[in-house]
């Protein structure tokens, strides 16, 4: 079986040939992967940063954003049939901890992640719990269905921050930031600004019809944002860059009483003047992780069905899975939006 894996504890990613999953265990299904998105987490694993080195065992087939067809069903599974087209929630919750039993499975204390803690979806087949499946409507194409997961991150952040009728600033124009911008616009934000230094990603942001796209290195940045927000500053800030300096600058310009949702993961500790920038301004800080199971999935499905044009603008590259190295090179270069790998013709490509 062709797969893409972290086979060595060093920077890089490689092809691998693990065995097919075989008969799925009780409560599990096997999915033949059609398409899979490259996530920022996959890029962390590719770079083998301190988080990856401390979390991911090698060898490990990576990847957790995918769509495919069910090809085998384990005992005890009901409600699904062979051939069903599905995506899946990559966070496998325990179902018994306090968080799970109080409706917060997205922050389960014992979460196991597909492609991080167990074999992932960058393969011809992946085995997942049937409880994590999401049946995909026919109207949603594979290339969109493959990225339910990251669109769900963006949706969870936007929905939690309650952007309707608010001036919104998004710090970071990577794929999740771009999806968040499109979702905020669709959710009736009064204005949407994206702050992004990379010119290629800034161009994608402009294509979404946003109110303002700024380069944080531009001295006129602050004045332009204040003008757009009637001098008050943004009322909602969605931080997806993980950059400490960018977060501090965003807190400086935030309106009094603003909501600041934090999804970006910093590479290390971030120093903040909590007294001046948070407490005295009445700022609400929200930590955002994963997706609400499964409220967010219903929201994402509705967004994809109504806004396929916005999805197509953020997904900039669809590559044959066997050309996965090019996908990671594009991420190195910063010259892409979302990248999706196509697994549908993998056997023909390998035998060519």
Catalytic residues: 41, 44
The length of the chain is 352
∠ CA 347-66-325, rounded to 5°? 60
| H/E element, 4 | strand 3-6
Burial of 295 (0-12, 13-18, 19+ CB in 10 A): middle
What distance in Å separates the CA atoms of residue 263 and residue 234, rounded to the nearest whole number? 17
Grouping H, G, I as helix, E, B as strand and the rest as coil, residue 69 is strand
Q: Are 4 and 123 in contact (CB under 8 A)?
A: yes
Q: Are 276 and 251 in contact (CB under 8 A)?
A: no
148, 88, 97: which is closest to 121 by C-alpha? 88
Q: Are 291 and 107 in contact (CB under 8 A)?
A: no
- Here the tokens at position 163 are 């952007």
Residues contacting residue 88 through CB under 8 Å, at least 6 positions apart: 31, 66, 114, 128, 132, 133, 134
**In the block, residue with structure tokens 């972290």:** 6
43, 147, 141, 42: which is closest to 88 by C-alpha? 147
Q: Which stretches of the chain are DSSP H helices?
A: 40-47, 50-55, 98-101, 142-145, 148-161, 175-186, 199-207, 221-228, 244-253, 274, 295-306, 308-314, 324-333, 346-351
The DSSP symbol for 123 reads B
């Amino acid at each position: 079986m062709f797969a893409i894996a972290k086979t060595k504890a060093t920077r890089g990613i490689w092809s691998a040939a693990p065995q097919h999953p075989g008969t799925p265990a009780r409560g599990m299904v096997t999915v033949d992967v059609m398409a899979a998105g490259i996530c920022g987490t996959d890029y962390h694993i590719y770079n083998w940063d301190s988080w990856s080195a401390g979390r991911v065992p090698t060898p490990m087939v990576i990847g957790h954003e995918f769509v495919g067809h069910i090809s085998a069903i384990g005992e005890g599974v009901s409600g699904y049939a062979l051939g069903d087209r599905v995506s899946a929630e990559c966070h496998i919750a325990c179902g018994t901890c306090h968080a799970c039993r109080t409706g917060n499975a997205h922050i389960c204390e014992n979460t196991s992640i597909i492609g991080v803690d167990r074999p992932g979806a960058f393969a011809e087949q992946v085995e997942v719990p049937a409880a994590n499946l999401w049946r995909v409507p026919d109207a949603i194409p594979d290339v969109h269905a493959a990225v339910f997961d990251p669109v769900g991150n963006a949706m969870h952040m936007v929905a939690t921050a309650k952007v309707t009728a608010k001036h919104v600033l998004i710090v970071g124009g990577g794929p999740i930031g771009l999806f968040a911008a499109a979702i905020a616009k669709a959710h009736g934000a009064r204005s949407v600004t994206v702050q992004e230094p990379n010119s290629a990603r800034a161009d994608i942001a402009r294509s979404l019809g946003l109110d303002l796209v700024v380069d944080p290195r531009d001295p006129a940045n602050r004045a332009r944002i204040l003008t757009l927000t009637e001098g008050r500053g943004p009322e909602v800030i969605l931080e997806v860059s993980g950059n400490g300096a960018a977060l501090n600058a965003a807190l400086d310009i935030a309106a009094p009483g603003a909501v600041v949702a934090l999804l970006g993961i910093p590479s290390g500790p971030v120093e903040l003047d909590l007294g001046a920038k948070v407490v005295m301004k009445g700022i609400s800080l929200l930590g955002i992780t994963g997706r609400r199971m499964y409220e967010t999935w219903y929201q994402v499905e509705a967004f994809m069905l109504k806004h396929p044009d916005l999805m197509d603008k953020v997904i900039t590259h669809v590559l044959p899975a066997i050309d996965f190295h090019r996908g990671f090179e594009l991420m190195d270069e910063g010259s892409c939006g979302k990248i999706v790998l196509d697994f549908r013709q993998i056997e023909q490509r390998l035998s060519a």
